[in-house]
Structure 1
Amino acid sequence: MSEPPRRNDDALTLLAVLTDDASRAQVATITGELGDRLLLATTIEEALAHAAREPIDLALVDVGIDGGAGLALVHHIPALRHDARVVAVAHRADLAHGADALAVGADALHLLPLAGDTVASTLAAARSRRLDARERHALAAALAAAHTTRRLYDRAMSALAAGEVSSAAGLFLEGLVAGGLAEGLALYTALGGAAVRVAAIGSLSAAPEEAAALEALARPGGIDGAYAPLRRDGSLVGALLVSGARATSTSILDLATLIATEYAAQRRARAAMTNIDDVGPALTTEEAFLAANEHEIARARRHCRRLTALVLRGCGESSALAVRRELRSSDLVARLGPDELVLLLPETDTLGAATCRRRLERRLRGLARDEGRGPLLVTSGAATFPHAGDSLAALLRAARARATAGAPYVALDRAVHALPLGELVPTLARGTLAHFPSVAPLDVPFPGLLALAEQLCVEAQRAGLATYLATDHPGRNLRAPARSLSARDARDAAPTPEAGQRDVRPDRRAASAQGSSVELRGVAHLAGCADLLVIVLRGEHASWAASGRLANDRFVGVHTHDPRLADLLAERLEEGHRRRNPESSP
């Protein structure tokens, strides 16, 4: 039989398996006074039935019943109720069974008949253990929630740094809910005088997309959530609505403010881009382009990111269309002159910009050939934030100056564009290309060439990331000079970005995010390339290339610091590699 429950938050459920009437009465009295629930049993079968049906916190088991068979309950009750604790009781004649009970897991052993103090202290100890267990579970849950919140915060900051503001907002709110800081949230930003919802979750997931003004969200009769204004430099820039909040800390409001302002800036930049005609005949003002890119410059400055301005001159309307198709959706392009296109490439360093420029020039060369317009006459210049300038205007000045400085080399492109690698290297060695005054003869022992290349690799590694490309000569170990680059790659290589990040095509635009690269290319199968030796080193701030032949363990050829010639030699090496390995073609 069982007593009517008189439960409170700390009440226990006690199973008493007793045949001693005095002890049964004592247990009933004490549990009644304390408001605990009592389940009484006199047989093993009754005890197991109670344990199977009821949540049990504590069991008092007479291990001497049925000639010592009660000892089995010390094992069976915890097997049915994992949180149940078992205390053995026994008459003096059954103390041997009591000792066995302690050996198989009983918490304690008491003599029958039970005294009131014994029952009360046993219940108090069980209550204390249960409270400790609850605190441990609560702490573990809080730590798990904090871990989840931190993980989501980290992902939110990564998304924000990558320009994925909407994803960052969703992860931020999800982290607050996962951490038990709110039941529902809605984040708004000020845009065009109205309140625009950035993200919402939980009980506020149905919050309206827009409101007439941010202040309207705080008025009585509005949305059912606490209103927290978000301010920057004294101006109201957003609002965070919180339902079921335990606390709204300054750090939470600061991050909400950052996301709200980033979202508004991104929306304004996209709106400004609709006013830019990047392929039509109308001249777009430079002011409009500067306004559209203000957000990217500010983000790069705030998060210490790279971005590059790339100027292309000599681009007609068909060329502009081809350029736009080759770019990522996150790239910005505009016509700022009759034959000038300006590109802004977020998350792109000097090496990435060079990769982009080479791909665009290949595309434009093919377009010129298809349209029968003769050789390509496009010049280009790139400038990377922050090294070449800390504002878009400064970057454009630097990029335009480099495009102007590169104009004389267009003639060289026309002269050597059709030359295969086996003819290009001898042409350079003969010194017949007057447009390349930076090409110098080089006649050194082979170990001296390796030492020079190694010194330049070390300098490139100190200045940033670099790519090293050389011909493959078995037994010559042309990979050795690039040891410093390989070491940096092992230290600094970043993890692969998660799915859902910004649109970056697999053109190695962001190669620097994955570390420096060291590659060897076999070209002995090409005509005139059996003993050809080429090394190309392209760094963030400088390039170097050597090309020639090996004769009696000496290198005889030329070397140069000109980046366009380095690009040209690297392109020929890759073409030769793809000819031997068609499956490696991009």
Structure 2
Amino acid sequence: MLSLRAIVVPGESNDGALIERVLVDHGDSIEVFADVNRALSRLTEENFDAIFISLSLPRGDGLALVHHVRALHPMTEVIVMSAPAQIEETAHASALGVLHTIVLPLTGDAVLLAADRARERKLLVRERERLLADEAKSRRRSASYARSAAFISEVDMRPLSRGLLDAALGELDARAGSIYLPVSSQRFERVFARGAAEEHPLRLDEDDLKAIDPVSPVRVEGTRAFVDLIGDYEVLGHMRLDLGAPLSNAARESLENLAGLGVAALTAARKVDAIARAGIKDPETSAYTFAYFGDIAGREIDRAKRYHRNFALLTVSFDGLDELKKTLSYEQIAQLRRATADGILEGIRGGDILARVEDDEYYVLLPETDLLGANVVRRRVRSACARVLEEEGVPRHLAEPVLGVAAYPGDGADLGRLLSAVRRRSEQAGETVRRRAGLREQELWPLLEHLIDDEDEGEAAPHAEGWNAFSGRATLPEAVVARMGAEVAATIAHQCKAGTVYLGGAGGIPEAIARALPSPSAGGIRIGKLGDFDGRGFDLEVRDPRLEQIGFFIALTDLGGYALIYRRASSGITVFHSSELDLVDALFVALQREYHLQPESEA
């Protein structure tokens, strides 16, 4: 028999004792209160099935209590006890919707009849709630299958996995859930989460993978369900769901059906993804694939040879991004990857070709562009990527853009040599980022003094061979420094067609370098004089008394970059020189900013 929990508020203590004795004998739980306020307080603390109220209370208004209970506790059935003379009060109580009226004096049969009516009402309410819950669950199941029909037609992993997780959550009415997809054979990362999924890890560990049962796709541990999406030869995905109620057999069957649909959809999506990756476009970033890029670069080399044109290659990667990704979810990584690709596309021109080579490394083909033009594009790309990373909330020191550049034909006449050159410059740029973080934002003079004084810059051989073979500090005689600068200046005069040179200082060193530079009338090379020394006509002249202490020779041409910075010391000339394009470009930008000079022309 269904038991009741009831409160009794009697007019006479004997009535309360009778009701309690009769109903307790039938397995009900009864609490008797002579005080109306105490009875009301108890109603607010717990739920009761029924309340017996006498309309004749020695300390209180029984009809007012009926009003209160019906208004504030509608799920508690009210049974009133009234004397034959209380016809008006009884009628009023009936109008309020009381379940039953017992006419005093009380009898055991009358109490049992009223209690049975309360029991019947409780059974009806339970059945109604069950039917409503089943109807709601049926609607949810229909919606779940409708969502399944939608996601199984998806070919993109992100909306597919989101739809699969939403279908599972909707089927179970779960509190929270996460779905994991493989990024390698033994590495699964969380791609989506719903609800309060803070306890779900960002990636599965070895123990999680060992717990996967290839026979049963659905496992339950306590209040958590695990759904393994197992294909013919491998695990395609994994879901974990926090349950709001024990998993019923019907819900388990639905999850198993859902798992089967998910496996079919993921298998199809992976086939489509494989086809797309074998094509010309990377589906994740809209960049071209490297295979297509190689074909385009080969055709561009043939065109450049035939028509004697220039073109350049640019590489873009992000220093520190691998470590940062270890702290991010799959979706956050995908969002960051799309944002960085958009940043690169924002910085390059409409006719340039962007290709994704690896996870976060990109190549850009720049047609009809020499090294100087490529350097201008490189500045734009770096600025756009830095802004995008900042908008994504990534601190600059955690993901610094690293860009390498190479140009045809100066850096190589075939794709292999060009790729070797661009990788070398990218490695140099990466070292520049790591060793000189923050120098790009410095003003000119603090930057010059840092490069001369910093012991970490290392020692360099005074007679290194080749335009790209040296970088570092040294203390040398003045004649050797003058000869070093003059040799580079002579190379510029005989081999360079375009570029900008800034020569600063005082005395014999800048004069020796100026004599080796091309004549301004030769065109192509812009030469700026900063300081007090003799020489032929220059494109611009600037005076600064600080140039009597520190001198420099900074060149950015179609062959590359070179910087020679020197200061007189007691034992000779302290020199820093480098052909790292990234560092030379940073010096160029700082110098032009310091003296308000016009930047090189946009590519």
Shorter-chain TM-score bucket reads 0.3 to 0.5
Structure with bigger gyration radius: 2
Q: TM-score, normalised by structure 1?
A: 0.39
Q: TM-score, normalised by structure 2?
A: 0.38
